[in-house]
Structure 1
Amino acid sequence: MAFQKAVRKRAKARIGICGPAGSGKTMSALKLAFGIVGPGGRIAVLDTENESASLYAHLGDYDVDVIKPPFTVEKYISGIREAEKLGYDLIIIDSLSHAWAGTGGILEFVDARTESAKGNKFAGWREATPKHNSLVDAMLQSPMHVIATMRSKTEYILVEDEKGKKVPKKVGMAPVQREGMDYEFSLVFDVDQERHIATSSKDRTEIFDGFFGKLTEEHGRSIQTWLDSGEAAQQPTAEPEQQLPAGPKFITKNQVKELEEIIKNVGADRGKFLAYLGVKKLEEIPAEKMTSAKKALDAKTKKGDSATGNVTDITSALTARRIPFETKEEAGEVHAKPSYQDTASKEFLKTKGFRWQPSDKVWVYKMAA
């Protein structure tokens, strides 16, 4: 192994488009796609939005594969692999949010596993995290360009109109996806519902710094020009890279992510956990200790039936589903405030023992005394 001068290589597009329902995510994705692949390129669309992708057939040529419930990770990966096998240049995943919060998605998978494990949430995330990581890997390692749309939760805010009156305005909030998903993309656009205006919340290309406008094919062509401006990747040499003979084999990056998720969800003390394994950081855990590490965290979830542990489970679930909440320690309560139209979150709160409090317009969970 040796350090080399940093050089940007040619790459495939990895683009995320976020926005509430009706903001124009699908149309924006298609326009970018046409610009990226050019007139001779082939575009595939994985449609989870009730066949809505076909409504834009007048924009150009593309093929659609409809995914129906349950929206399992396996269906998404199968669709990506099939598009690769058929030689498509670009795939649009519309929408990626169903794989997380839709029927049969990751959150529902975790709830089912938790219930079957008698409330042990770790049991659910232990299986769900590798499943989710496999979908991320399928997108990042694909030889195709990838554009993924993600729904944003909606909320109403009061703004002044041209007459100075306060009026409600519907705005998009965080995308319905695993926290940190935007790190996986090179470009992320947030699209406004009212005027379909896009802004860039992440831009490694530096093309869209300060951008504010509607996405067009021309923007797609700009992205393709940037992608092609990198140096061609070197062909692998005939002699395979040798592994270093010295030193222990450590857990993989995906296993590190898995442990990070488990530590967060069970509320483990990171310092004590690392000390127990005799390492200073997760990346130093030997591969052969992965099983014992997970067992140690699993054991934590089975210690007692304290109110604190229960509240930790509640707040972890709220965080995972991106439901805004506030802990009122003096009152012994957790207050959750899902958006007005988020019916799924309201039903979830009911199953967790929350009760609607009309006077304060908030869902309340009473901690055990």
Structure 2
Amino acid sequence: MKLQKAERHQVKLRIGLSGPSGFGKTYSALLLAPGITNDWNKIAIIDTENKSASLYSHLGDFNVLSLEEPYSPERYLKAIKLCEESEVEIIIIDSISQEWQGRGGCLEIHEQLGGRFNDWAKVTPRHNAFIVAIVQSKCHIITTTRRKVDYSLDQDSNGKTKVMKLGMKEITREGFEYELTVNFELLNDKHLASASKDRTGLFMGKPEFIINSNTGKKLINWCNQGISIDKIKEQINTCESLEALKQIYNQYPNLSKELYPVVMSRKQVIDAVSNQLIDSHSIIENNNPNLIPEENEFSTT
């Protein structure tokens, strides 16, 4: 446990776009992404919306992975991993609502297990693995989420029943928004958006706007301000001692998961060099014992 000065590290963006059907979630995601990467070939979209992404192929040469039912968390995980292995920079998941409410999604899995409260103990870890894959991905992630309008039946002061609009609820498990850097809510079929959650401070409280590539540029500029993970990795790969390696690793506890594989790889190199020196020393000592000074030769007395 260690108290440290607060620092913002360069991170991968986790962006949410949510809204009812027809409000332009897919289109907005495809306008946002090139502002972040400036290269259509580095964009991949996991399409669960009946190949709707292909309707926008005229925008650029992005990659499409069509994901059909069953929409289990494991199939999403496989799709995300495939995109990551393809060395893309941005993954658009359009949409995550199918993982929760679609055929073969979490709600259906729960129902097939019996629909009891205790059955969530088997479903929740599978859903959490899907969330972790998004949060820990080496790529920027843009997710789209369907929204539905919630209503309730209430009585007014005269005892008359009336329908009350409660607002728009995202079709995914509650709490997903907390994992995002920014969550944009599309408000109408004119594609106007506002930020319902914003860690960057760039959009919260600002007037409604239409998402475009400039939105992506603002986000990537914000993202690139701070300590570069790549720079830290360069420091690790130039370490000459285990002590220096340990100091760098302990300096960035919030990045331990990202840095651990690099640290261990460098440790193996340092250990190998150290073992070679020990072996060489032993050979010299065995073959030429007179060349190895006795300990007392270094004495100053």
- TM-score normalized by structure 2? 0.70
Structure 1, unaligned stretches of length 5 or more?
Answer: 158-169, 242-369
Q: Residues 59, 155 of structure 1: CA spacing in aligned structure 2 closer, same or farther, 3 A cutoff?
A: farther
Residue in 2 that maps onto 1:11: 11
Residue in 2 that maps onto 1:231: 227
CA distance in 1, matches of 2:121, 2:75: 20
| Contact 2:150–2:169, Cα closer than 8 Å, also in 1 | no
| Contact 1:20–1:171, Cα closer than 8 Å, also in 2 | no
Residue in 2 that maps onto 1:28: 28
RMSD: 2.3
* Equivalent residue for 1:128, pick from 94, 101, 123: 123
Residue in 2 that maps onto 1:51: 51
Amino acid at match of 1:231: I
Residue in 1 that maps onto 2:159: none
Amino acid at match of 1:25: K
Task: Note if 1:187 corresponds to 2:177.
Answer: no
Amino acid at match of 1:227: C
| Contact 1:19–1:192, Cα closer than 8 Å, also in 2 | yes
CA distance in 2, matches of 1:6, 1:87: 31
Residue in 1 that maps onto 2:215: 219
The CA deviation at 1:4 is: 1.3
| Contact 1:14–1:187, Cα closer than 8 Å, also in 2 | yes
Matches within 5 A, 1:275-294: none
The CA deviation at 1:41 is: 5.5
| Contact 1:101–1:108, Cα closer than 8 Å, also in 2 | yes
| Contact 2:41–2:63, Cα closer than 8 Å, also in 1 | no
* Equivalent residue for 1:177, pick from 172, 176, 182: 172
Matches within 5 A, 1:1-369: 1-39=1-39, 42-114=42-114, 120-122=116-118, 124-154=119-149, 173-211=168-206, 212-233=208-229, 234-235=232-233, 238=242
- TM-score normalized by structure 1? 0.58
Amino acid at match of 1:201: S
Structure 2, unaligned stretches of length 5 or more?
Answer: 153-164, 247-301
CA distance in 2, matches of 1:3, 1:156: 47
3-state SS of the aligned residue for 2:129? helix
The CA deviation at 1:172 is: 6.5
Deviations 1:71-112 (A, max 9, x none): 111110001101111101000000000000111000110111
Amino acid at match of 1:103: R
Runs of 4 or more consecutive aligned structure 1 residues displaced over 6 Å after TM superposition = none
Residue in 1 that maps onto 2:155: none
Residue in 1 that maps onto 2:258: none
The CA deviation at 1:13 is: 0.7
3-state SS of the aligned residue for 1:28? helix
CA distance in 2, matches of 1:90, 1:196: 22
| Contact 1:76–1:135, Cα closer than 8 Å, also in 2 | yes
CA distance in 2, matches of 1:172, 1:216: 26
CA distance in 2, matches of 1:140, 1:209: 22
CA distance in 2, matches of 1:82, 1:49: 19
Q: Residues 82, 23 of structure 1: CA spacing in aligned structure 2 closer, same or farther, 3 A cutoff?
A: same
The structure having more radius of gyration, on CA atoms, is 2
CA distance in 2, matches of 1:194, 1:54: 20
CA distance in 2, matches of 1:176, 1:150: 6
| Contact 1:21–1:193, Cα closer than 8 Å, also in 2 | no
CA distance in 2, matches of 1:135, 1:209: 27
Larger RCO, structures 1/2 (Cα 8 Å, 6+ apart): 2
CA distance in 1, matches of 2:210, 2:24: 10
Q: Residues 197, 62 of structure 1: CA spacing in aligned structure 2 closer, same or farther, 3 A cutoff?
A: same
The CA deviation at 1:193 is: 2.7
Amino acid at match of 1:174: K
CA distance in 2, matches of 1:195, 1:172: 19
3-state SS of the aligned residue for 1:225? helix
The CA deviation at 1:195 is: 1.8
Higher helix proportion (structure 1 or 2): 2
| Contact 1:72–1:104, Cα closer than 8 Å, also in 2 | yes
Q: What is the aligned-residue identity percentage?
A: 41
Amino acid at match of 2:88: Y
The CA deviation at 1:57 is: 0.9
3-state SS of the aligned residue for 1:150? strand
CA distance in 1, matches of 2:197, 2:42: 26
CA distance in 2, matches of 1:53, 1:147: 14
| Contact 2:101–2:107, Cα closer than 8 Å, also in 1 | yes
CA distance in 2, matches of 1:78, 1:207: 33
Amino acid at match of 1:209: M
| Contact 2:40–2:61, Cα closer than 8 Å, also in 1 | no
| Contact 1:20–1:172, Cα closer than 8 Å, also in 2 | no
